[in-house]
């Protein structure tokens, strides 16, 4: 077990931190207030190689390991949840899934440009009547000669307007319940496809989230990922990667809460002393620090298992659940420490509080992860070994 960052990881951390300080921090307040998703920043993320961090170099990525991806997510979310969410969806949910399940033609056509950041990928699982209950989805894919015809709707899809390619889950055989779900690579340019951003979100306002519509969309049969009926397994394996990035990002959210709160503790005085000298304020700071360190340990443990190709659904779920809860509490306490000033956008902590809520909901709600953990402990849930392993890293 090694708790040290490698030289390469330290350099990566510094690169992302510098990027966030220069390209995100000065503008994020305004983007958030205006609900502006900045495509230019996505392009810059790609230019410095952050869209394919743990994709092998042979497929256009940087060939780094999972914990390097965690570092990127942590540092990005220190700036704002929007860009970490973009990396989670593009890399964690889409590209890693293509790497794991795609055939060589699909990898060359879709994964390589995504890993290079030339194209953006997204993940379309949730529907108006199907969130936690994936098997309730209504979208259908009907085989017709060389095509599948897709009909249906997705909702709450991150990068809905920004992505070029979507992983879309649809029923090819509803009678088989979740064994009848299949996964497809859908291009934005296909006729009958459209998207619409959602307005009025509580947080991640600098992000892009919304609906996808499929009206008789012809998807070539070559764009079926895996086999017909593999869709549920594919979605769950994608979530194992996505949840890891969400957990790592939550550590960055706690870092941001700590930074803002420590500054304010030294700046604000009550009863003749810095508020940081009051023990009840110290308690909130201490809990943030404990949350950060515990979350990091859970994230890096899950990352180590991933690097070894060992099934890690249980460990990743625990990391995601705990880190997101700690981040949400840290943001709440950060506002508390700022008093009334924390309640306005004069300070960033109100944005942290709004942003920290979605990660407690997406990629498995707090309740779903609680149930998963209880079921593992009680012996009601057991995972099979991974049926497809990822290629070794750094090759
Ligand atoms: C900002 C944002 C971005 C998102 N991006 C994406 C994306 O890119 N792609 C995508 O596919 N989806 C995305 N989602 C959707 C997200 O994954 C779903 O919202 C999530 O899975 C929960 O589904 P739901 O909202 O339908 O809630 P529901 O499943 O309807 O749950 C409602 C409530 O009931 C509880 N509940 C449900 N079932 C149980 C149970 N068995 N036991 C106990 N409690 C239960 C839940 O915990 C929750 O509190 C995004 C959501 C947000 C907010």
**Counting atoms of ligand 1 from 1, which one is nearest the CA of 124?**
11
Query: If DSSP states are collapsed to H, E and C, what string results for the chain?
Result: CCCCCCHHHHHHHHHHHHHHHHHHHHHHHHHHHHCCCCHHHHHHHHHCCCCCCCCCHHHCCCCCCHHHHHHHHHHHHHHCHHHHHHHHHHHHHHHHHHHHHCCHHHHHHHHHHHHCCCCCEEEECCECCECCCHHHCCCEEEEECCEEEEEEEEEEEECCCCCCEEEEEEECCHHHHHHHEEEEEEECCCCCEEEEECCCCCCCCCCCEEEEEEEEEEEEHHHEECCCCCHHHHHHHHHHHHHHHHHHHHHHHHHHHHHHHHHHHHHCEECCEEHHHCHHHHHHHHHHHHHHHHHHHHHHHHHHHHHHCCCCHHHHHHHHHHHHHHHHHHHHHHHHHCHHHHHCCCCCHHHHHHHCCHHHHCCCCHHHHHHHHHHHHHCCCCCCCCCCCCCCCCC
Q: What is the pLDDT of residues 314-353, one digit of tens each?
A: 999 999 999 999 999 999 999 999 999 999 999 999 999 9
Tell how far the Cα of 250 is from the centroid of ligand 1, in angstroms. Answer: 18
| pLDDT at 336 (0 to 100) | 98
Q: Which residue, 177, 202, 231, sits at the end of a domain?
A: 231
| pLDDT at 384 (0 to 100) | 80
Domain identity same for 244 and 357? yes
Domain identity same for 66 and 137? no
* pTM as predicted: 0.97
Which of these is catalytic: 77, 363, 367, 375?
363
Domain identity same for 221 and 269? no
Of 75-79, 228-232, 304-308, the range with the lowest mean pLDDT is 304-308
Residue 387 in domain:
no
Structure tokens that stand for 279 in this block: 């023990």
Domain identity same for 179 and 260? no
Residue 87 in domain:
yes
Residue 390 in domain:
no
Place of tokens 């085989």: 143
Section 129-154 average pLDDT:
97
Q: Confidence band (pLDDT; 50, 70, 90) for 390?
A: low
Kindly state if the Cβ of 156 falls inside 6 Å of ligand 1.
Answer: yes
Domain identity same for 210 and 276? no
| pLDDT at 3 (0 to 100) | 82
Kindly state if the Cβ of 123 falls inside 6 Å of ligand 1.
Answer: yes
**Counting atoms of ligand 1 from 1, which one is nearest the CA of 129?**
26
CATH code for the domain of 32: 1.10.540.10
Domain identity same for 258 and 349? yes
Q: Does residue 104 have a pLDDT over 60?
A: yes
Tell how far the Cα of 101 is from the centroid of ligand 1, in angstroms. Answer: 24
| pLDDT at 248 (0 to 100) | 98
Q: Confidence band (pLDDT; 50, 70, 90) for 74?
A: very high
Q: Does residue 1 have a pLDDT over 80?
A: no
Q: Does residue 212 have a pLDDT over 50?
A: yes
Section 82-100 average pLDDT:
97
Which residue has a Cα nearest atom 25 of ligand 1? 131
Domain identity same for 133 and 116? no
- 77: containing domain: 7-120
| pLDDT at 388 (0 to 100) | 59
Q: Does residue 260 have a pLDDT over 50?
A: yes
Residue 386 in domain:
no
Domain identity same for 219 and 158? yes
Q: Does residue 389 have a pLDDT over 80?
A: no
Q: Average model confidence (pLDDT) for the chain?
A: 95
| pLDDT at 392 (0 to 100) | 47
Identify whether 363 is a catalytic site residue: yes
Kindly state if the Cβ of 89 falls inside 6 Å of ligand 1.
Answer: yes
Residue of 87, 165, 167, 361 with the most ligand 1 atoms within 8 Å of its CB, for mutation = 361
Q: Does residue 385 have a pLDDT over 80?
A: no
Q: Does residue 395 have a pLDDT over 90?
A: no
**Counting atoms of ligand 1 from 1, which one is nearest the CA of 159?**
8
Q: What is the pLDDT of residues 10-31, one digit of tens each?
A: 999 999 999 999 999 999 999 9
**355 with 81: CB under 8 angstroms?**
yes
Kindly state if the Cβ of 131 falls inside 6 Å of ligand 1.
Answer: yes
Domain identity same for 263 and 222? no
Tell how far the Cα of 128 is from the centroid of ligand 1, in angstroms. Answer: 10
Domain identity same for 167 and 244? no
| pLDDT at 113 (0 to 100) | 98
Section 155-171 average pLDDT:
98
**Counting atoms of ligand 1 from 1, which one is nearest the CA of 201?**
1
**Counting atoms of ligand 1 from 1, which one is nearest the CA of 366?**
47
Residue 383 in domain:
no
| pLDDT at 387 (0 to 100) | 58
Q: Confidence band (pLDDT; 50, 70, 90) for 45?
A: very high
Tally the domains of the chain. 3
Residue 32 in domain:
yes
Which residue has a Cα nearest atom 40 of ligand 1? 368
Which residue has a Cα nearest atom 30 of ligand 1? 131
| pLDDT at 394 (0 to 100) | 39
């Amino acid at each position: 077990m090694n708790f040290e960052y490698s030289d390469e990881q330290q350099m990566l951390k510094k690169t992302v931190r510098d990027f966030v300080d220069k390209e995100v921090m000065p503008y994020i307040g305004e983007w958030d207030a205006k609900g502006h998703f900045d495509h230019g920043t996505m392009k810059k993320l790609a230019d410095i190689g952050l869209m394919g961090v743990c994709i092998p170099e042979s497929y256009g990525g940087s060939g780094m390991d999972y914990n390097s991806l965690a570092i990127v997510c942590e540092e990005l979310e220190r700036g704002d949840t929007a860009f970490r969410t973009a990396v989670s969806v593009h890399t964690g949910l889409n590209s890693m899934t293509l790497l794991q399940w795609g055939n060589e033609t699909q990898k060359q056509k879709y994964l390589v440009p995504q890993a290079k950041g030339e194209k953006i990928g997204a993940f379309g699982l949730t529907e108006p009547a199907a969130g936690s209950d994936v098997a309730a989805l209504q979208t259908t894919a009907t085989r017709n000669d060389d095509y599948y015809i897709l009909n249906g709707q997705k909702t709450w899809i991150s990068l809905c307007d920004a992505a070029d390619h979507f992983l879309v889950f649809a029923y090819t055989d509803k009678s088989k319940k979740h064994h009848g779900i299949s996964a497809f690579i859908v291009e934005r340019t296909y006729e009958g496809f459209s998207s619409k951003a959602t307005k009025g979100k509580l947080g991640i306002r600098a992000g892009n989230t919304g609906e996808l519509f499929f009206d008789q969309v012809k998807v070539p049969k070559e764009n079926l990922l895996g086999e017909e009926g593999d869709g549920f397994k594919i979605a769950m394996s994608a979530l194992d990667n996505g949840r890891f990035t969400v957990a790592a990002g939550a550590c960055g959210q706690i870092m941001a809460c700590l930074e803002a709160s420590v500054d304010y503790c030294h700046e604000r005085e009550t009863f003749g002393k810095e508020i940081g000298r009051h023990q009840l304020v110290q308690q909130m700071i201490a809990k943030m620090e404990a949350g950060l360190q515990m979350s990091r340990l859970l994230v890096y443990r899950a990352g180590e298992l991933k690097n070894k190709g060992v099934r890690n659904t249980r460990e990743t779920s625990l990391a995601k659940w705990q880190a997101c809860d700690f981040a949400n509490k840290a943001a709440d306490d950060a506002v508390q420490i700022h008093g009334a000033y924390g309640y306005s956008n004069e300070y960033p902590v109100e944005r942290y509080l709004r942003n920290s809520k979605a990660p407690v909901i997406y990629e498995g709600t707090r309740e779903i992860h609680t149930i998963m953990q209880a079921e593992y402990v009680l012996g009601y849930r057991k995972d099979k070994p991974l049926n497809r392993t990822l290629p070794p890293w750094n090759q």
